[in-house]
Structure 1
Amino acid sequence: MAAPHTSKDEKDVTTDYIDDSGGRRPTMSSIDLNKNLEAKISNPLANVPYHTLMRDVEEFAHDKDLDDLIPILKKGALVAQDPSKFEEVESLDEDELVALRNEKLHKWKHPFALYFTIITCSIGAAVQGWDQTGSNGANLSFPTEFGIGHGEDEGHPNRWRDNLLVGVVNAGPYIGSAFMGCWLSDPCNFYLGRRGTIFVSAIFCLLTPIGGALSQTWEQLFITRLLMGIGMGLKGSTVPVFAAENSPAQIRGALVMSWQMWTAFGIFLGFCANLAVYKVPIIAWRLQIGSAFIPAVPLTLGIYFCPESPRWYIKKNRYRKAYNSLLRLRFTSLQAARDLYYIHAQLEVEANIIGKSNYVSRFAELFTVPRIRRATLASFVVMIAQQMCGINIIAFYSSTIFREAGASERNALIASFGFGLVNFVFAWPAIWTIDTFGRRSLLLFTFPQMAWTLLAVGFCFYIPKDSTAHIAMIALFIYIFAAFYSPGEGPVPFTYSAEVFPLSHREVGMGWAVATCLFWAAVLGISFPLILNAFGATGAFGFYAGLNVLAFVMIFLWVPETKQRTLEELDYIFGVPTKKFISYQVNKALPWWIQRWVFFNKNAVLEPLYHFDQGIEGTDVPESSQNAMVLDICTLTYHFH
């Protein structure tokens, strides 16, 4: 592409191309991605004249040693220039037109390589879930064996110390992830790629559960769980990014959310394993912890057969390999060429704003470059909200909670098994809702529901323990809580964080986001036994119910919608200043929702925040309905057409 001219004062992305007569012709939209005051989403190819575009493609092909692909790249560039009008591109043959039509009509129809990649990523998620729950059942026995099992003994002098140590052991993987694993993901991705990093993480997750099962002291168990955290951090920071970069925009949310869905499945399998071996004498807890190595085996083998991320290849300036990877992920060479050139064009715009940086400066730029800072804030909110909602007090300590409610060890494990099943089953609806209702809408709908269900759990502890209703009502509201969590705060954080950062900062940004999530998971793991001991069950659940309300407010103010936009188009979404976004939500979106859904005023109209320039292929909703991308506080009550 011809070099754009950028104002030194305004740092504007854009701009003009010089024609053969020396005059300037506008091409890219004049939008500053650090201060997108008009909230426009633009296609960088939209206004490029035909002859200029063809010349740019030839220069691109010569520069990237892709001369043999010039004809197909030219076709791809014309399609990318206005994806909604591909029927008007005269150079396309009938097979290419059919492929593009099918892409719109059959959004779930994609090559096997794409789905194999998602399946492999799903196995990685199952490893994550199983690792989390191995200690859940083991909590009932390993503390006693290691001499730290006095947490339930009223008046015992070591009660607080033992509660703290059990919490530290449970939090080991999250400490290891937050302080080591997540931050190693950026250099590992730089040198090893997405696949190589996932392979290394799989090795950690394969060996550390076995080491934990062979531990002879709580200190040894803690160390193995710290090392497990390195694998979990590498995997959690890389797998969602790998899935997001390989997936087409229209179903990216559904495919990337498989991370959470299969994490839930891994949690469920972990509960199954806990229940299956709880009667084995002496070594039950060892089997419960050690069994987590099982799903790491197919992950270690399967990642070898996946195509590497095309965007990672582009980042490394390996365009030929990026094209070959796209050929495996798309049905035709036209689609591969279109995506290759469009990604390149948008990354040229991105480079004008962000430039090149090293690891240290990339981390600093998470908080200093406005476009990236907004993504950092939004990912922080959705990630910390996953701990504020209280899901992990159930995932880590459900067996302890149910035994606190008066259940036997067997019944506590059965009740925990039920929680794992509900958590997995209710994750499935998000496959269809995350790309239609959107990430933000799901969060705004489910957080109030999680707040009242946790409050109900706490009040159920007032029911006399000798009543059958005591344990039954506690289990019921915990299951309802899980049913609301699974399609909302369950799949959204990792999906959202994997897509909001620009390619230049995607690894370090995702590392930051996952470190945030797992650091606060560690805090939760350490603190919950102490909170339960100090406040009692009712106080502990009431505390987390209040945190759900706080998380709802944070999401409302700071989390933009990202559904059905390409990863590159999200640069424009996060170009909108935070102050402008908050002002829109408070002064326009909220009053509109009150008018429409409290007073049922059908004539209430919401002015959309985002404006779509020509050449952007959006969702199938009309522009008047695209405000769904912004709020939508009305959540599941909003009707898409």
Structure 2
Amino acid sequence: MSSQVSKQRDHNSYLRIIMISATFGGLLFGYDTGVINGALPFMSKPDQLNLTPWTEGLVTSSLLLGAAIGSLLGGRLADRYGRRKTIIALALLFFAAALGTSFAPNVPVMIAFRFLLGLAVGGSSSMVPAFLAELAPTEKRGRMVTQNEFMIVIGQFAAYVINAILGVTLADSGHVWRYMLIICAIPAIGLFFGMLKAPESPRWLAAKGKGNEALHVMKKIRDAKQAEIEFKEIQEALKGETNIDKASFSDFSAPWLKRLLLIGIGVAIVNQTTGVNSIMYYGTQILQESGFGTKAALIANIANGLIAVIGVGFGLWLVGKMKRRLMYMIGLSGTTVSLLLIAVSSMVFEGSAALPYVVLSLTILFLAFMQGFVAPVTWLVIAELFPAKLRGLGSGICIFFLWIVNFIIGLTFPMLLSSIGLSGTFFAFVAIGVLAVGFVFKYMPETSDRTLEELEEYFRAKYGDDNEKNEKPMAGIR
């Protein structure tokens, strides 16, 4: 008995090491998207890059456009060459692009390297959750995949703290924003060396006909009996995918896969239409708009990062206790109400000394719902929807749409803020939030408490054509 307990601890320790290594991608994602929040005010100065609202939006959103393309390319590369090799390549791109942004001499060069950095961010955002989902035991899948979201907000929080420290202590240094950006290179080193020691996904190996290697990996992360059982389930599921050789867009012409793709795209879009990244990217500017000075806004913005970390920490615990769909509904309702309160308050308290503190309190409330309920479920559900041979491409397509919407919001938010003000901008997000709640209520399926193979069988039966619907679902699927 003690020997079995010891082996189980070894399996759990190995899984934990893999999870920490892979989620350095999430840390990079968070820092690279959050650092711009504090760097923009210094980068915009006339003696630096002299940004206008238009070029400010371009610098911010160029990363987001790159991320959209990176999520799609990353998914395809991961399906062809493997999850592990793809993430290692992304680590190298993270490192090179971070150095490029920190030494950029002008706006065009900055935009170019921010775009390259976005390719790495997008690739990791689609691949790391899928990689973790394929390695995790069913009962731990929610928490393991959500750990990536936790690392994202840790990265954003770290960016806000470092921004505040550097912004206050080195405010007179014209190049303080360069110091903020170069720190992005450090976690890339951790991701690279961590993934060198991680195994390839057993589900990808099995899908490529490398059954012996897949079983070997399974036995390193499961006890022998469970590894054999799960490996057989994977093999059975792959028999239903024999018509899929190299993953391509045409594979999604099957009714059930087309339906899953549309659901995944919808879930991804809903995540961004909450307006979360208007706060994560432009939180400092929002607080300045409401009445804080630059230094005070940088310091106050740390509260946004801190509540995001606390929220995802709560979400990590909650995802193992609550159904995915219910979490999403609660989260979206909370974010929509919070945005409504921000819009109303900015009108009621306009010109008042209380306004910046009211806005800060409400953005904290918004992020508590967003990071505690919505964000963890988004990445988890997208990673769970698709069969093994199409998981990389399917996840990549969904995350592509997430980043495209993110890009549009990142590009237009400064112009919206300057043209229709704080209240008008957030009233628009409220209207979209109401539609998002309706979408989730009607279309989003429940994915908790099932193995990935059971989910595949369930989706075939539920969303397939008439012949597929008549097939008998696996035991326990309802």
1:182 aligned onto 2:75: no
* Residue in structure 1 matching 2:207, options 311, 315, 318: 315
1:481 aligned onto 2:371: no
Deviations 1:263-312 (A, max 9, x none): 01111011011111114211111112222222111111111111211001
* Residue in structure 2 matching 1:295, options 165, 187, 206: 187
Q: TM-score, normalised by structure 2?
A: 0.92
* Residue in structure 1 matching 2:149, options 260, 282, 290: 260
Are the aligned partners of 2:60 and 2:410 in contact in 1 as well (CA < 8 Å)? yes
Are the aligned partners of 1:175 and 1:518 in contact in 2 as well (CA < 8 Å)? yes
1:333 aligned onto 2:234: no
How far apart are the structure 1 equivalents of 2:346 and 2:325?
Answer: 33
* Residue in structure 2 matching 1:212, options 101, 104, 114: 101
Q: CA deviation at 1:257?
A: 0.9
Q: Give the AA of the match of 2:391.
A: R
Q: CA deviation at 1:464?
A: 4.6
Are the aligned partners of 2:166 and 2:176 in contact in 1 as well (CA < 8 Å)? yes
Deviations 1:568-588 (A, max 9, x none): 1112332355699xxxxxxxx
Specify the alignment match of 1:305 in structure 2: 197
Q: Give the AA of the match of 1:526.
A: L
How far apart are the structure 2 equivalents of 1:115 and 1:145?
Answer: 47
Report matched runs for 1:167-178 at 5 Å: 167-178=57-68
- Decide whether aligned partners of structure 1 residues 127 and 148 sit closer, same or farther in structure 2, where only a CA change above 3 A counts: closer
Specify the alignment match of 1:375 in structure 2: 260
Q: Give the AA of the match of 2:154.
A: F
RMSD, aligned α-carbons: 2.3
Specify the alignment match of 1:80 in structure 2: none
Specify the alignment match of 1:529 in structure 2: 414
How far apart are the structure 2 equivalents of 1:450 and 1:196?
Answer: 37
How far apart are the structure 2 equivalents of 1:496 and 1:109?
Answer: 28
- Decide whether aligned partners of structure 1 residues 477 and 546 sit closer, same or farther in structure 2, where only a CA change above 3 A counts: same
Are the aligned partners of 1:558 and 1:578 in contact in 2 as well (CA < 8 Å)? no
* Residue in structure 1 matching 2:175, options 250, 275, 283: 283
- Decide whether aligned partners of structure 1 residues 327 and 124 sit closer, same or farther in structure 2, where only a CA change above 3 A counts: same
* Residue in structure 1 matching 2:344, options 442, 459, 473: 459
Three-state SS of the structure 1 residue aligned to 2:41 is coil
Deviations 1:445-480 (A, max 9, x none): 111111111111122223556644211111111100
How far apart are the structure 2 equivalents of 1:344 and 1:435?
Answer: 27
How far apart are the structure 1 equivalents of 2:208 and 2:241?
Answer: 14
Three-state SS of the structure 2 residue aligned to 1:308 is coil
Three-state SS of the structure 1 residue aligned to 2:399 is helix
Are the aligned partners of 2:138 and 2:450 in contact in 1 as well (CA < 8 Å)? yes
User: 388-397 vs 275-284, which deviates more?
Assistant: 275-284
Are the aligned partners of 2:76 and 2:396 in contact in 1 as well (CA < 8 Å)? no
Q: CA deviation at 1:170?
A: 0.2
How far apart are the structure 2 equivalents of 1:227 and 1:492?
Answer: 27
Q: Give the AA of the match of 2:200.
A: E
Aligned length in residues: 468
After the TM superposition, which segments of 4 or more aligned residues of structure 1 sit over 6 Å from their partners? none
Q: Give the AA of the match of 2:316.
A: I
Q: TM-score, normalised by structure 1?
A: 0.70
Are the aligned partners of 2:269 and 2:401 in contact in 1 as well (CA < 8 Å)? yes
* Residue in structure 1 matching 2:305, options 396, 416, 420: 420
Deviations 1:321-356 (A, max 9, x none): 1111111111x22222121112112221x226xx12
- Decide whether aligned partners of structure 1 residues 466 and 543 sit closer, same or farther in structure 2, where only a CA change above 3 A counts: closer
How far apart are the structure 2 equivalents of 1:556 and 1:579?
Answer: 21
Q: Give the AA of the match of 2:192.
A: T
Give 1 or 2: higher helix fraction: 2
Specify the alignment match of 1:164 in structure 2: 54
1:130 aligned onto 2:16: no
How far apart are the structure 2 equivalents of 1:574 and 1:139?
Answer: 45
Specify the alignment match of 1:356 in structure 2: 244
Are the aligned partners of 1:389 and 1:447 in contact in 2 as well (CA < 8 Å)? yes
Q: CA deviation at 1:517?
A: 0.8
Specify the alignment match of 2:456 in structure 1: 571
Deviations 1:236-276 (A, max 9, x none): 12111110000011120111011111101111011011111
Specify the alignment match of 1:203 in structure 2: 92
User: 406-415 vs 467-476, which deviates more?
Assistant: 467-476
Specify the alignment match of 2:236 in structure 1: 345
How far apart are the structure 2 equivalents of 1:506 and 1:612?
Answer: 21
Deviations 1:72-101 (A, max 9, x none): xxxxxxxxxxxxxxxxxxxxxx899x77xx
Report matched runs for 1:92-111 at 5 Å: 110-111=11-12
Q: Give the AA of the match of 1:113.
A: Y
How far apart are the structure 2 equivalents of 1:579 and 1:230?
Answer: 34
Are the aligned partners of 2:205 and 2:213 in contact in 1 as well (CA < 8 Å)? yes
How far apart are the structure 1 equivalents of 2:343 and 2:320?
Answer: 34
Are the aligned partners of 1:126 and 1:265 in contact in 2 as well (CA < 8 Å)? yes
Are the aligned partners of 2:458 and 2:474 in contact in 1 as well (CA < 8 Å)? no
Specify the alignment match of 1:228 in structure 2: 117
> Which structure's CA Rg is the greater one?
1
Three-state SS of the structure 2 residue aligned to 1:575 is helix
Q: CA deviation at 1:148?
A: 6.8
Are the aligned partners of 2:135 and 2:202 in contact in 1 as well (CA < 8 Å)? yes
Consecutive unaligned residues in structure 1, runs of 5 or more: 1-93, 151-161, 581-610, 619-625, 627-641
* Residue in structure 2 matching 1:143, options 23, 44, 57: 44
Specify the alignment match of 1:54 in structure 2: none
Specify the alignment match of 1:500 in structure 2: 385
Q: Percent of aligned pairs with the same residue?
A: 25
* Residue in structure 2 matching 1:269, options 158, 167, 170: 158
